Amino acid sequence: MAFDEIVSLMFRKILIANRGEIACRVIATARRMGIATVAIYSDADAQARHVSLADEAWPIGPAPARQSYLVIERVLNAARRSGAEAIHPGYGFLSENADFAEACAAAKIVFIGPPASSIRAMGSKAAAKALMEASGVPLVPGYHGDNQSLATLTQAAAEIGYPVLIKASAGGGGKGMRIVEQAADLPALLEGAQREARASFGDDRVLIEKYLTRPRHIEIQVFGDSHGNMVHLFERDCSIQRRHQKVLEEAPAPGMDPERRREMGEAACAAARAVGYVGAGTVEFIAEGDGFYFMEMNTRLQVEHPVTEMITGQDLVEWQFRVAAGESLPCDQDALRITGHAIEARVYAEDPARDFLPSIGALVHLRQPADAPDVRVDTGVREGDQITQFYDPMIAKLIVHGADRAAAVRRLAAALRDYEVVGVQTNLSLLRGVAAHSEFAGGLIDTGFIGRHPEILQPADAGAQAQNCVLVATSLTVLARQHAANLKAAPASDPDSPWNADDCWRLNSDGYQDIVLRAGGDETKLRVHPVGNLYRIDLAGASLHASLTGDDAATWLSLDGVRHRLCVVPHGDAFTVIIDGRNHTVSAVDRLAPPRTETAGDDRLTAPIPARVTRVLVKVGDVVRKGAALLVLEAMKMELTLYAPINGTIATVRHRVDDMVQEGAELITFETEAAEPDGTARIKEKS
């Protein structure tokens, strides 16, 4: 039966039990199909983009997800009161929660996802691997047993052979995952993995596997219906990762031959059939050399599903709606085709140069590539929105398509050049570095790609021409802002008074204004002379003629007749100049302002980001050495351990477990060791 013959069975209204870009993504397909949408939102998301796009929106509680998006009864209550017939869980949050699927069924609300039994079967990595082993699906050598004692896990690791990988049994997304290089490191890394797994999934069980040194992460998109049909929509390569989490994904996988594609697709469908799977799911494999091994099955739609949509021309969310409404799959395996190549880049608010530490703040400036047939941006934020500590720091997903992989890589690089974000740190420079790398262009990728190329974590130094552009554009922007302020302040009674002019006039001398700019720790003085419609700028012993013009579409800096396209974004006391896809932040120095004083030092530990304290590892009076673990924070679904910056004695511990702390908050202070005149050590009392 064709889809258009049974439209009457389709839902009239659905609730989306999620937020951010996936909620916006589901709303787009629902609107195209004429299905009304209900959003839910926490206190932190009251003004979020997904709330504004939905037909109606219901509040469900405080900002922390465990008090709002993860509370099953609050989600169901919103569904009941709104009259929603079905719930789409998105990914993350409750999407792989079997209790939630059962609660939906009990409430007579359709869960747009697999049966609870399938979620349970694949929800435990250990149980899933045992099931796959019985079904003949190849596995990585490892231990998946119930005995979680340190002795048992230590013995299992020794038998497998180092290096090994600890993985949370109940979760994914890189949470509760640690690489162990040698036996001596196992106890501490195991404890950290179990703690993170317990915090993320409420289950601290782990499994241990052989760690493959040059693996590729290949996953197969599967789809089943309630009539016994099962297909796969080919593979995705998700090998470019950081912190065991995906950064770039592409389809099809580079170098995949038809026979291997058939083998992996059949294995994935066998895995899904083994648990009676219905709906969208992903079977993940790790591949090295001629072998491929089952890792896990994600019983939900994946973040990277758009690349599959790009190469197949199918809308997987529409498929989800129709299968959940009882329809059959729209086509069989033979009808599915791969057209071209697609790549997805995840744009995160994080700092690659600081071990991918999440970045929190307002999106002061956000310019994204325009949607086109071969360029797509899935996002849940707008300019002015806040990236908070409560949720994943993803800003958007940038998806491109090309006739072949080379064309897709070129289109990705071009789209990344057009992506502009000011207000938070982002991984855009990393993404551009990957897209421009010769090995990536050649398809020579594996999960260790970023680790092997640390140079892409730090953008190359800007050349002299780019630095001059940044300084000159900033100085002209400072003058323009001063001019606008002077016009506003000019008295209406005498607007033509020469005292209102800001033309840098000087008695018996050429008119000029000195502007001092600070970039990093360096200061540069520019002397700016108005010359007709241009400016002559004295900089580093040279004179440059410049002008700055533009509109909403673009800003142009003319420097000695050469035009450079850029963007200047004022924010606070700083200016960010974006040129050639790279941010350069400069501040104007006010010589009349009092000197800045620095109050932070090595005798205290401060919070690098807003976060929740999950563990305090020391107490007042403890003597610690530099590098000792002191405290563990949790923010944006990530655990962050803070270490002692010096040798010393703990003087104060400012916070307890579950306290929320803001960026820069003082956490721990020290009494530091100092030397007596005779060279003996003493304790210096903290002032």
Q: Catalytic residue positions?
A: 300
Residue 598 CA to residue 601 CA, distance in Å, equals 8
Give the three-state DSSP class for 274: helix
Cα 26-31-35 angle, rounded to 5 deg = 90
Please state, in angstroms and as integers, the Cα–Cα distance from residue 382 to each residue in 128, 386, 413, 511, 654, following that order: 40, 9, 22, 43, 36
Residue 79 CA to residue 85 CA, distance in Å, equals 8
Residue 589 CA to residue 475 CA, distance in Å, equals 11
Tokens of 370: 């325009």
Residue 300 CA to residue 118 CA, distance in Å, equals 11
Residue 518 CA to residue 593 CA, distance in Å, equals 14
* Element housing 684 (H / E): strand 681-684
* Element housing 166 (H / E): strand 164-168
Phi/psi at 522 (5° precision): -100, 140
* Element housing 433 (H / E): helix 428-436
Separate counts of helices (H) and strands (E) for the chain: 16, 40
Cis amide bond preceding 369, omega within 30: no
* C-alpha radius of gyration, the chain, whole number: 28
CA 524 to chain centre: 35
Under 8 Å between Cβ of 639 and 196: yes
Query: What is the DSSP code (8-state) at residue 596?
Result: P
CA 665 to chain centre: 24
Tokens 């064309």: give the residue: 407
Residue 278 CA to residue 267 CA, distance in Å, equals 16
CA 307 to chain centre: 17
* Element housing 133 (H / E): helix 125-134
